[in-house]
Structure 1
Amino acid sequence: MPCGREPARELIGRLAAAFEELPDDLGPSAGDGPLGWPGYGDQLARAAASTGEHESVVCGIAEIGGVTTMVVAFEFGFLGGSLGTRTGTRIEQAFTHARERRLPVVSLVATGGSRMQEGTLALMQLPRIARQLTLTREAGLPHVAVLRDPTTGGGWATLGAGADVVLGLRGAQVGFAGSRVRPPGYSVTQQFAAGLVDQLLPPEELRDRLERWLRLLTTPTGGPAPVPSALGETTLPKTGWDAVVRARTLGRPRAKEYLASYFGWHEPINGDRSGGVDPGVLCGFGYRDGRTVAYAAQCGTATRPAGFRTAARLVRLADRLGIPVLTLVDTPGAANDAAAEKAGVGAAIADMFTAIAAARVPVTTLVIGEGGSGGALAFAAPDRMWVTPDGYFAVISPELATAILKRDPARARQTAEELRLRPQDLVELGVAQGIAQLGQSADQATAR
């Protein structure tokens, strides 16, 4: 069986410990549909007989990993999982019921798109579904989509791409245009590379990963994210140039090490949902001491526009779900090459500044390496920022500051001193709240 095309009820049974279908108030279809399409009634009857379903979606309440969840599962065997007017009604009912019960939603998508036999009336289900996604988002409830094979047309453009977290099954065809419109179709791997899918999964891993995501997105949280302990140097730098050299040392701990130390386990999101991925920025949600914390971490490279947009997406999602955020600052600055400018690096930085400024949840920042200018500051919470002994923060690098001031390049060390960029300088200036130390508990980060 092609990837993800198992019958809807079999898939639900594989993922859920229990399932209760929502009442089917629509009953069997009758006649040739709203357009009187010749033979459509017979097609519906054959689809019902072969699948045991009255429509292309099965909706109900499931227990997945101990989390009560609303499930919308497409039955591809019913006219290719196509979206008709009755499909839209069922999806609307499911999302409405989820909001009434305060349940997360999981959409198990496998559809060829809108149903031709119902014409424009079928197409009009898309804004109807989009309205449900909007209302559920406004209600602060998470929505996870699983892309099965195929996920095309309006199903991809609403329930798929419009979800908070998008999980794609390897081998699935995913794209707005299906293979019969534009052969050979677009793969989920390509969508992942373009930053439109958060994770690629083999079908056998779906249950475990879905359980983890539901646990992360529904675990009650409270208070700000604790400040991580420092993992590198234990003493403070003597000079500004010492601080710069430490931060640029290749062997010092980076974002991956901090995330592994801070979380029991974590799940990443991928991409800016606009066609871009920055491998130098890690974003996602992690589980720590019985609570969920969202994270956006720079990895020591110049941050590209997609990195800022992905981080802003993460902060806004966490804010909507009431999840505190941890940011790790480590970048020489924003990418400033021609490609970055063309991709809108200035607007992307502004987007990240705005996301943090607008966040209602607390944002905690730790500078773990270089804090280069606005590219670093965009990731920082100005009122909850700490720094490690091997981090620094500056308006610009000492070398570039020296050049801008038309000084001899040999004076870069002096400029570093005058910029007052050391951890202890940042605390004294009121830029940082304190210095995180090796082996301390998160609450022991202190000012020096």
Structure 2
Amino acid sequence: MSERTGARGLVRSLTEQFTELPVDSFPQPADGPLGWPGYDAARARAAERTGESESVLCGVATVGGVRTVLIAFEFGWLGGSLGERTGHRLAAAHRTARAERLPVVSLIATGGSRMQEGMRALGQLQRVAAESARTRAAGLAQLAVLRDPATGGGWATLGAGSDVTLALPGAQVAFAGSRVRPADADPLAYLAESRHRAGQLDRIVSQEELPEVLGRWLSLLGPAVRDRACPEPAPVPPPAALGGQTLPADGWQALTGARAPHRPRAEAYLDAHFTDRVEISGDRSGGIDPGMRCGFGRHEGRTVAYAAQCGTANTPAGFRTAARLLRLADRLRLPVLTLVDTPGAANDAEAERLGAGAAIADCFAAVAEASVPLTTLVVGEGGSGGALALAAPGNTWVTPDSYFSVIAPESAAAILKLSPEEVPRLADRLRLRPQDLVELGVARGVVSAASRR
């Protein structure tokens, strides 16, 4: 398989079974709605060359044991361009997905809208976006695999509009096609790798990995098991404590214990709690925060969404990524686990320029708006609003080697104009120990190593 593999060859390489959807007749006048000279002849040549009657192939497939609606673009058919018949088929594919409650996977290789059909072709982007929105509202996952090229309206609707976006290495992924970019444009800026670094793609996947990766995503996000077994999800239990089991004697001991470099971090908790995991990456707005891990895992046979802070000061991109995860989990009716561990939100000039306040506010809103159950475990530092933005109201738990505070004692001393020697005393006065948090009603309880996993 390669980036330019034909649609049917690509489908065969990814699926265990594929049944093409019926193709309804879609009559058009000679040479299309614009009467474009030679258009009918071009379509006939494309059909003869590829064996397809249109630029997209749609059907119901089994991928990794999961039934899904599969959309595969045939780039050899007029550059995989979108025309009226293309839009007709894409709409039918989404209607099938909603009727049978199946996720949608789009294998995209397109140069954009078909110029020979003019505005009738461009208008299909609105049609496709509307169908995608209806599928999203139905609580069905949409995944996109970006091949080479994935440009124009195909990228701006089916690609960027999907819940999860994967891309093959070196694929062109951009709104502007290669022939309409500025003459001095850096070609590397239009590649999938650049989109990934900018937080707009979740993962670059090699051709060999694609069947396995798609199967994992679909097994976690496909609705079939979830709909039958748990129409209204139950909260996920908090993970067991992995670090120290002794409660701190005072506030300063709690603070230093949570800041200890050897303390277990998010990675250890995620590995212990989940048997399988896949991760999203980026905020879709230009940023990635490696200190915020977000994704989906399998716990005791069901899928759980997670957002985990990794002990660093989170950037605006991190909070936007967490909000993206929370809203996706809510649409898919999946319970959420958040792990709190941050000294606080990043507060440097760059963070402010990138909209720290707005990003944190959006994360607070995503938590407040969630209609699925959220569970939070504070596994280390709980630094002010940057930590609280991920905390589940009424269902937050703490480990023995954690703390949660309205402000860091050092910052409190600076505000109160006290000497550094006063910091340990302030740590006590802030009542930030795990047992204090339970007594204050901030936390439901302190988890132990024997806690249910």
Which category describes the TM-score, using the shorter chain as reference length?
over 0.9
Counterpart code for 1:72 = I
Alpha-carbon shift at residue 28 of structure 1 (Å): 8.0
CA contact (8 A) 1:266 1:285 kept: yes
CA contact (8 A) 2:164 2:202 kept: yes
1:305 and 2:292 matched: no
CA contact (8 A) 1:29 1:44 kept: no
1:193 aligns with 197
Counterpart among 365, 373, 382 of residue 384 in structure 2: 373
CA contact (8 A) 2:71 2:90 kept: yes
Q: Which runs of 4+ in 1 moved over 3 A?
A: 27-30
SS of the residue 1:197 aligns to: coil
CA distance in 2, matches of 1:281, 1:97: 36
Counterpart code for 1:202 = S
CA distance in 1, matches of 2:45, 2:27: 12
CA distance in 1, matches of 2:52, 2:28: 11
Counterpart code for 1:118 = E
Alpha-carbon shift at residue 31 of structure 1 (Å): 2.6
Point out where structure 2 has 5 or more consecutive residues left out of the alignment. Answer: none
Alignment of 1:50-89 (within 5 A): 50-89=49-88
2:48 aligns with 49
Alpha-carbon shift at residue 14 of structure 1 (Å): 1.0
1:323 and 2:334 matched: yes
1:215 aligns with 219
Counterpart among 389, 397, 408 of residue 386 in structure 1: 397
Counterpart code for 1:199 = R
- Between 97-106 and 294-303, the greater mean CA deviation after superposition: 97-106
Number of residue pairs aligned between Structure 1 and Structure 2 = 441
TM-score, scaled relative to structure 2: 0.95
2:302 aligns with 291
Alignment of 1:12-31 (within 5 A): 12-26=11-25, 31=30
CA distance in 1, matches of 2:323, 2:158: 21
CA contact (8 A) 2:29 2:35 kept: no
User: Identity of counterpart residues, as a percentage?
Assistant: 62
Alpha-carbon shift at residue 405 of structure 1 (Å): 1.6
Alpha-carbon shift at residue 27 of structure 1 (Å): 6.1
CA contact (8 A) 2:145 2:165 kept: yes
- CA deviations over 1:306-326 (Å, ceiling 9, x no partner): 000000000000011000000
CA distance in 2, matches of 1:303, 1:85: 45
SS of the residue 1:80 aligns to: helix
1:277 aligns with 288
2:178 aligns with 179
CA distance in 2, matches of 1:27, 1:87: 10
2:135 aligns with 136
2:8 aligns with 9
2:156 aligns with 157
CA distance in 2, matches of 1:417, 1:273: 41
1:446 aligns with none
Alpha-carbon shift at residue 30 of structure 1 (Å): 6.4
Counterpart code for 1:363 = L
Point out where structure 1 has 5 or more consecutive residues left out of the alignment. Answer: 443-448
Counterpart code for 1:192 = H
2:31 aligns with 32
- CA deviations over 1:124-169 (Å, ceiling 9, x no partner): 1111110011111111111011111110000000000000011111
SS of the residue 1:366 aligns to: strand
CA distance in 2, matches of 1:64, 1:28: 33
CA distance in 2, matches of 1:310, 1:7: 34
CA contact (8 A) 1:109 1:160 kept: yes
1:247 and 2:261 matched: no
